[in-house]
Amino acid sequence: MAGQAQLIFDEYGQPFIVMREQDKQKRLTGVEAIKSHILAARAVANTMRTSLGPRGLDKMLVSPDGDVTITNDGATIMEKMDVQHHIAKLMVELSKSQDQEIGDGTTGVVVLAGALLEEAEHLLDRGIHPTKIADGYDLACKASLETLDRLADQFPVEDRDRLIETAQTSLGSKIVNRCIRQFAEIAVDSVLSVADLKTRDVNFELIKMEGKIGGRLEDTMLVKGIIIDKTMSHPQMPKELKNVKVAILTCPFEPPKPKTKHKLDVTSTEDFKKLREYEKETFETMIRQVKECGATLALCQWGFDDEANHLLHHHNLPAVRWVGGPEIELIAIATNGRIVPRFAELTTEKLGSAGLVREITFGTSNDRMLVIEECPNNRAVTVFIRGGNKMMIDEAKRSLHDAMCVVRNLVRDSRIVYGGGAAEMACAVEVAKQADKIEGIEQYAFRAFVDALESIPMALAENSGLPPIDTVAALKAMQIAQSNPRLGVDALHKGTNDMQAQKVIETLVSKKEQLSLATQVVRMILKIDDVRVPNDEHEH
């Protein structure tokens, strides 16, 4: 069998896995190879195990450039971990696909896959063929998914308070959980603002997250409009405008230049004066065109020089320069305006409108940003995140994204199961009952699947400071005795195991996806019995 798998860190603090004595061995094939693959994948899963649940621990990841990330978001940890082993990379892909499809449950899916592989290893030791194990897992997964469908409760998507409770479950394990209610409300309100309940669709493109260092997490707020990290181009322009008509320009405020290489000879003072007059006239014509169509604010994707800036102020036309492309698009959506590429095309119909445009100042250094509110199309919203340092803001963005994904999943499919390991435990109880009906050797894999499902509540209990085996055994007995699939691990020590009472809820979509994805990846790993690396005799 392959040597020990060891998790070590390089000089930058990046974790990676080393398979000891692998290079000295002959090529591993068959069961031996599968066992060495399981070893590598489990090493990754064990790293993630301690991050599961509301009391899960965070990981500090240091990039080769020295950038520090502190997070317990499964997908982020897996993405930034420098995994060298080919099979372990499959686990990274697993958490990525959970993140892209669902957005939440990225840690759970890796832990479950690790547990399934651990059970598979015991079965391989007993001489059971890997294909039989994979088939048994597949059958058990189908039975689990049917059980989840049967146990799922319908969720009232119209009830905002219930949605907030679900978002709180997702945020409970994150660093922002000291202002969990506030963040849950922001997540729910932002998703409901952009959700189309008829088609059950949510467009995340319309939610923008803007973070600024300084202030406290509690200062985070949701703005029903757009925030752009810009200020008025001239310090004496008004800081607040009401009932604004916005001209959204993607053409520069400057005299037109020939596109080919051009050379201008200024040979006398008169020439220079003429040039200056020409520039001034061009600017004034442009400003007049903007004002004549009724605009009271110009947003420009390009810059303009001091001359133009002075003239804009002189003609009482507030303007903002260097507004980025994505912001321009969002502003156009929110204000119902059209993006205008040439001054000649400006018309009154193409202007956007907003009830209020104001500059907000914050922090001791008086940083300023521009807020565009009370727009006719209030589906575009911005979350403005504050925090003591960049790491806090980044983690808050990741946490909010997970919570928004949970709310989005409920809008798409409003069925729920209960968290805290309750759903996994209920599946384990149900699948165990069906194990005797399975004929053939797959029955062993079926039972192994049950043991792997129990590893989720066990990891939750362990991370919450409870005795894992006693807790899970007691839970199982209670679920069977009371026929209550809502009983889970009391991770926050609230004195009740009923997850419905604790309001710990997970979306059915997320839970089903976790089980399916973990099972599929494990099947894939069990069917690989040889790894060929180009230009290399040995497996790495």
Residue 195: helix, strand or coil by DSSP? strand
Amino acid at residue number 414: S
What span, in angstroms and rounded, lies between the C-alpha atoms of 170 and 167? 5
Structure tokens at 194: 């952009």
As a whole number of angstroms, the distance between CA 511 and CA 109 comes to: 9
CA distance 194 to 329: 15
Of the residues 47, 50, 76, 107, only one is catalytic, namely: 107
Supply the angle between the helices 106-125 and 30-49 in degrees, to the nearest 10: 150
Rounded to 10°, the helix 160-171/180-194 angle is: 120
Beta strands in 131-251 (DSSP E): 153-154, 195-196, 201-202, 207-213, 221-223, 225-228, 240-249
In Å, how far from its chain's centre is CA 178? Answer: 20
Name the amino acid, one letter, at 156.
P
Contact 418, 502 (CB under 8 A): no
- Count Cβ neighbours within 10 Å for each residue of 504-536 and write b for 16 or more, e otherwise: bbbbbbbbbbbbebbbbbbbebbeeeebeeeee
- Residue 107 is among the residues annotated as catalytic for this protein: yes
Q: How far apart are CA 193 and CA 377, in angstroms?
A: 10
- Of 47, 69, 73, 490, which is the active-site residue? 73
CA 379 to chain centre: 20
What does the block give as tokens for 216? 């406290």
Active site (annotated) includes residue 361: no
* Residues 425 and 488 sit within 8 Å (Cβ to Cβ): yes
Q: Where are the beta strands (DSSP E) in 331-428?
A: 339-340, 352-362, 367-373, 381-387, 415-418
Chain-centroid distance, C-alpha 126: 41
Q: How close are the terminal C-alpha atoms of the chain, in Å?
A: 14
Q: How far apart are CA 87 and CA 103, in angstroms?
A: 23
* Neighbouring C-beta atoms of residue 342, cutoff 10 Å: 11
Is 73 assigned a catalytic role? yes
Burial 448-459, CB ≥16 within 10 A → b, else e: bbbbbbbbbbbb
The three-point CA angle 406-409-414 to 5° equals 110
Q: Which residue in 47, 69, 76, 106 is the catalytic one?
A: 106
Residue of 99, 104, 402, 498 with catalytic role = 402
Q: What Rg, from alpha-carbon coordinates, does the chain have? A: 29
Catalytic annotation present for 402: yes
**DSSP classification of residue 505:** E
Give the torsion sign (CA, 509, 512, 514, 520). negative
**Which of 23, 3, 21, 9 lies closest to 82 in space, CA to CA?**
9
Helix (H, G, I), strand (E, B) or coil at 27: coil
Q: Which of 516, 508, 514, 499 is nearest to 409 (CA)?
A: 508
Q: Could you list the active site residues?
A: 73, 106-107, 402
